[in-house]
């Protein structure tokens, strides 16, 4: 078994007191000061993440768009230069190979950011579909990625950016210098907050990370590990590959229909069209346990009218909301979709049953006064 890789920021994480864990084939920080404290920092100020375990592919040339239109559920043909979109890569039967973001950096130049655990599989799949037509480069090992997320992000980065970084629109992407370092900067993220993701050559990653921490010191910025990254994305009801998404689950079952543009000949289109016509066998729902204490964990069974109806995919105590939340797949016809919330169900928790309710997702939405913090540090 291969030893886990380290990002170029590994030594800095150690100096910052991070507790490390293995994730996606990498040794990554799971927390620094604590998951709750880091989570609250992102919701109220800003958090800085090392995401260098993610993969990056560059696809260019006159056949680049042809490959993307064949491989991806969302239509990259709709992308203007300097814009990005969330999308999914499917098997012929509609299962999910990976979810990713595609960035249009030039007229015939694109970049894909893929999940760490899927880099090799995604690369081989795309190369097979490409057949040598588009120029394809896997730059994962030479690139680092850091993210700044939270309401103070723009103010912090404007102090050290050498271009109008605040003018980048949501899902926009631009190139420029931040703290003297050339970056590709996208206004994207995985926390439910406003923020940016900065792609940079490995050699400059430590300098950039430290510069952002220093620039945000007066704003309460904190380095944030994978623990809070997971609680943040779950509050925002964002899917995670290996939990809500996998080869046995279609993007339609995951509630991602918005990112599936049918009427095109992409891989999996026929299977997804059949699901649209006939309905899916399962759907993703949001859950809240009624006592506000029991946490429904991944793998727990959900029951409707006493009968097994599905399984929890992700569950946690939500630091900002101050209560447990979970997402689960329910069999069609047993549990109503979350947009028709209120159905009473049960969760099987270590041999006993806990009362729960189907609730609307997302659990948290930035700027909505209903989601005021009840967290206590």
* Torsion angle defined by CA atoms of residues 42, 48, 49 and 55, in that order, rounded to the nearest 10 degrees: 120
DSSP string across 29-59: EEESS-HHHHHHHHHHS-EEEE-TTSEEEEE
Fold match, 5-54+141-235 / 281-371: no
Radius of gyration of the chain from Cα atoms? 21
β-strand partners of 286: 327, 359
Digits of tens for pLDDT over the chain (377 positions)?
689 999 999 999 999 999 999 999 999 999 999 999 999 999 999 999 999 999 999 999 999 999 999 999 999 999 999 999 999 999 999 999 999 999 999 999 999 999 999 999 999 999 999 999 999 999 999 999 999 999 999 999 999 999 999 999 999 999 999 999 999 999 999 999 999 999 999 999 999 999 999 999 999 999 999 999 999 999 999 999 999 999 999 999 999 999 999 999 999 999 999 999 999 999 999 999 999 999 999 999 999 999 999 999 999 999 999 999 999 999 999 998 766 679 999 999 999 999 999 999 999 999 887 666 554 33
> What is the distance of C-alpha 313 from the center of its chain?
15
How far is the C-alpha of 207 from the C-alpha of 199, rounded, in Å? 13
User: What's the CA gap between 241 and 56, in Å, rounded?
Assistant: 17
Q: What are phi and psi of 18, to 5 degrees?
A: -70, 145
- Distance, in Å, from the CA atom of 292 to the CA atom of 118, rounded to the nearest integer, reads 35
336 CB neighbour count, 10 Å cutoff: 16
| DSSP-assigned letter for residue 170 | T
Helix axes 119-130, 64-71, angle to 10 degrees: 120
In Å, how far are 245, 334, 345 from 308, measured between CA atoms?
21, 9, 10
CB 257 within 8 A of CB 280: no
246-271 as b/e, with b when 16 or more CB fall inside 10 Å?
eeebbbbbbbbbebbbeeeebbbbeb
CATH topology of domain 281-371: Elongation Factor Tu (Ef-tu); domain 3 (2.40.30)
Whether the CB-CB separation of 324 and 285 falls below 8 Å is answered with no
Among residues 56, 100, 85, the alpha carbon closest in space to that of 202 is found at 56
Instruction: Indicate the domain borders of the chain.
Output: 5-54+141-235, 281-371
Q: pTM (2 decimals)?
A: 0.96
pLDDT at 346: 98
What CATH fold (topology level) applies to the domain 5-54+141-235? Gyrase A; domain 2 (3.30.1360)
DSSP conformation class of 280: -
- Per DSSP, the residues of 240-258 read -BTTTB-TTS-TTTTT-GG
Tokens of 97: 């190979």
């Amino acid at each position: 078994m291969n030893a886990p890789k380290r990002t170029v920021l590994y030594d800095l994480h150690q100096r910052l007191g991070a507790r490390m864990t293995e994730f996606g084939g990498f040794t990554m920080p799971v927390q620094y000061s604590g998951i709750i404290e880091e989570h609250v920092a992102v919701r109220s100020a800003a958090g800085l993440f090392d995401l260098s375990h993610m993969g990056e592919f560059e696809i260019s040339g006159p056949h680049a768009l042809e490959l993307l239109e064949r491989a991806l559920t969302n239509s990259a043909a709709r992308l203007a230069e300097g814009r990005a979109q969330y999308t999914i890569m499917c098997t012929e039967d509609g299962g999910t190979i990976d979810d990713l973001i595609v960035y249009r950096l030039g007229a015939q130049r694109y970049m894909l950011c893929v999940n760490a655990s899927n880099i090799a599989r995604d690369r081989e799949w795309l190369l097979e579909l490409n057949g040598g037509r588009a120029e394809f480069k896997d730059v994962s090992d030479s690139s680092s990625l850091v993210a700044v997320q939270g309401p103070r992000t723009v103010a912090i980065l404007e102090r050290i950016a050498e271009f109008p970084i605040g003018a980048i629109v949501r899902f926009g992407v631009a190139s420029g210098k931040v703290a003297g370092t050339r970056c590709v900067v996208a206004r994207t993220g995985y926390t439910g907050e406003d923020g940016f993701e900065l792609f940079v050559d490995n050699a400059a990653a430590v300098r950039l990370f430290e510069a952002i921490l220093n620039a945000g010191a007066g704003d309460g910025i904190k380095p944030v590990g994978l623990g809070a990254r997971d609680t943040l994305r779950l509050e925002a009801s964002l899917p995670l590959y290996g939990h809500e998404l996998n080869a046995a689950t279609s993007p339609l079952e995951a509630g991602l229909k918005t990112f599936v543009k049918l009427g095109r000949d992409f891989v999996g289109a026929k299977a997804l069209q059949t699901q649209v016509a006939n309905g899916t066998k399962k759907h993703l729902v949001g859950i809240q346990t009624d006592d506000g204490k029991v946490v429904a964990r991944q793998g727990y069974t959900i029951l409707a009218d006493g009968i097994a109806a599905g399984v929890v995919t992700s569950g946690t105590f939500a630091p900002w909301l101050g209560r447990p939340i979970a997402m689960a797949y329910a069999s069609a016809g047993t549990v109503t979709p979350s947009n028709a919330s209120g159905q009473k169900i049960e969760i099987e928790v270590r041999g006993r049953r806990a009362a729960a309710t189907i609730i609307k997702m997302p659990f948290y939405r930035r700027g909505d006064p209903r989601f005021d913090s009840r967290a206590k540090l």
